[in-house]
A and B are shown apart, each in its own frame.
Chain A
Amino acid sequence: MTSLPILMLLPLLFGAVLALLAGLWRAASAQIIAVVSTAIALVMSVVGLVTVLETGPISHELGGWPPPIGIEYILDPLSAYLAIIIALIGLLVTIYPVEAAFDLRPGRGTPVYSLVLLLLAGLMGVVLSGDLFHLFVFLEIYAISTYALVSLGGNRAVFASFRYLLLGTLGSGLYLLGVGFVYFSTGTLNMADVASQLPDMAGSPTILGSLALIVIGMALKMALFPLHIWLPDAHSYSPPGVAALLAAVQVKAGAYALVRILYDVYGPAYLGAEGLPVGVALTWFGAAGIVVGSVLAIRQTNIKRLLAYSTVAQLGYIGVGIGLGTPLALVGALLHVLNHAVMKSGLFLVAGGIIQQTGLKSIPRFAGLGKRMPWTMAGFAFVAASMVGIPPTAGFFSKFYLVWASVDLGSWVLAVIIVGSSILTLTYFVKLFEQIFVRSPEEDVVDRATDPGARILGTVGVLAALVVIIGVGNAVIVSRVLMPVAERLVG
């Protein structure tokens, strides 16, 4: 099955084009095509993961040209793991009703699903690419789709999208410069080939410069503190469906690229004392991001903005995990990628349901929602518990691995920061819980609200159930998928 990597990407690309053309003809068909495409991609991703766990990495050469001449797609457990996350969140967001997800009146949603499918295709391509420049192309594909999708949220969203565009292009440009440095030193762009040539060039200033540029470019895409400034505006002003996609999967693609390039391509020769202190930088900037994100989230009154700052904090966890560089830390970071994707998209989809029913975004006015929208708020309760890190939900385990990894390395400060930020997270979620469950309805719109329709409840329910399932089953995920991946990357 050497064509598996392509078969995971093609449904999304075909779906994007067909959604555009079919949407021109009849508007409602675009969503159906989107759902079908993401479903096929999800099935292929699961098949892909099962296959590579049994048989080892699969490589697909484009055009029949063997690497390093040709472009190669690599499917290994790490790529398949992320591909499943991308396809799953994509499927749930495309099922969500279009008005609630994208702030659009029905019938005018024509290019939206095409853009969403292009976003997912771009992310899938980043995850599957085995070639440095090919990764850049897909990076830009999904970035352009996000600039367009974020701007759907109104006037503030357009301005936020413009600022995000500037910073995102800066990040991609720096990454491209880094790739240029690598190419002119090694003569090849294929990741495996570069990895085999780089150990001989240890200490070369060109390679060190390229490492710095690539890390900064990817850190911008991943919204690592202090390059996170585009994220709060972009995520809080965009429509809930778009915010779910962005927070759950788009920033994770930057994290994946960082993991892949740092550990697979550059390897330990460049990350330690002879190279650049990338690990230390990532760890401490990640820790700063955790603190800043959590502290700023507490002050917010707008629910989407609170979730956006919370995303900054969670990305800090992933940064810490990548920076620490031990197998345990990487396992924690990768598990957190999955957990955060499920949790954050669940929270944003709940927010979308609230906005659809009541039109409210301001937390002080949420009083009594739990009594009027019980099922939605029950799902919200599960997901929020996981964000705080209460066992046996999923969030507890990824933080546990990260704390364990930092204690293992003797870094007590980090462990304290990670545990302390859970307490900070608890603070702002307790505020939310008090509003929703304890107080009685004060606003008219809250009084008249009911549980939203089956599609919203269904997607939120799936995510809430996944939070518990992943938490309970995390031992399986870690032992079969993540630990071998982490040991291969770091060992």
Chain B
Amino acid sequence: MIGAYPSVVVRVVSALLSPFILLFGLYIIAHGHYGPGGGFAGGVFVAAAVILPRMTLDEELAYRLAPPWLGPAAGGIGMLLFLAVATVPLALGGDFLDYAMVEIAGVAASRIRYLGILVVEIAVGIAVFGSVVLIFDVLTGKSDA
């Protein structure tokens, strides 16, 4: 399942496509709040951009581009970022996830909520990316754990 695919067409096309899949995934993460997408779907796309090289390209190259520790690390950092952003309003005396408690001069409360949601979506995207890559690595037996 891992390692260079025998056909040169597959190898070249997937090497060409992977960066564009990554870019498309980032686009979906960023546009989740007023169109289809968001952190979950975008994170899966970004993970696809990492899993595709693992399935088709040379093994050593694929794991050099995205090493196995990226899965658990990204999962952990994404969730930590989400929890941190969600807990900041708590420290300021408001409710959990109440982004409007963070007062920034000159920015309306609804705008602050919007920015908070954006940061949270990015964190969720990172976490989902890490989780899907970790699932793939565990299934193919190449993870560290």
Contacts and interface: CB of A to CB of B under 8 A. Distances in A.
A24 interface: yes
The number of chain B residues touching the other chain, given as a range, is: 20 to 34
B69 A24 contact: yes
A3 B75 contact: no
B47 to A, nearest CB: 18
Contact of B79 (A3, A10, A17, A111): A17
Nearest to A7: B90
Contacts of A62: 95-98
A384 to B, nearest CB: 38
Interface in B49-85: 69, 72-73, 75-77, 79-80, 83
A352 to B, nearest CB: 23
Contact of A110 (B94, B95, B96, B145): B145
From B77, B83, B99, residue with most partner A Cβ within 10 Å: B83
Contacts of A18: 80
B2 interface: no
B101 A64 contact: yes
Given A24-B72, A24-B73, A64-B101, A17 B96 contact: no
A111 B76 CA distance: 11
Given A10-B83, A61-B95, A20 B101 contact: no
B18 interface: no
A60 interface: yes
A63 interface: yes
A21 B77 contact: yes
A63 B87 contact: no
A17 B83 contact: yes
B72 A64 contact: no
B4 interface: no
Interface in B95-123: 95-101
Interface residues of A, number: 20
B121 to A, nearest CB: 14
B76 A64 contact: no
Contacts of B77: 21
A44 interface: no
A253 to B, nearest CB: 21
Contacts of B99: 63
Contact of A64 (B69, B87, B95): B95
A14 interface: yes
A60 B76 contact: no
A110 B75 CA distance: 14
A13 B79 CA distance: 9
Contacts of A20: 72, 75-76
Given A24-B72, A64-B100, A2 B95 contact: yes
A373 interface: no
Nearest to A64: B98
Interface string A46-62: 00000000000000111
Interface string A1-16: 0110010001001101
Contacts of A108: 145
Nearest to A108: B145
Contacts of A3: 90, 95-96
Nearest to B80: A17
B67 to A, nearest CB: 12
A6 B96 contact: yes
A303 to B, nearest CB: 30
A403 to B, nearest CB: 44
Contacts of B95: 2-3, 6, 60-64
Interface of B: 69, 72-73, 75-77, 79-80, 83, 87, 89-90, 94-101, 145
Given A3-B96, A61-B95, 18 more contacts: A3-B90, A3-B95, A6-B96, A10-B90, A13-B83, A17-B79, A17-B80, A18-B80, A21-B76, A21-B80, A60-B96, A62-B96, A63-B98, A63-B99, A64-B89, A64-B94, A64-B95, A64-B98
8 contacts: A6-B90, A10-B87, A14-B83, A17-B83, A62-B96, A63-B95, A63-B99, A64-B97
A-B complex: 7 closest residue pairs judged by Cβ atoms: A64-B98, A63-B97, A21-B76, A20-B76, A6-B96, A17-B79, A17-B80
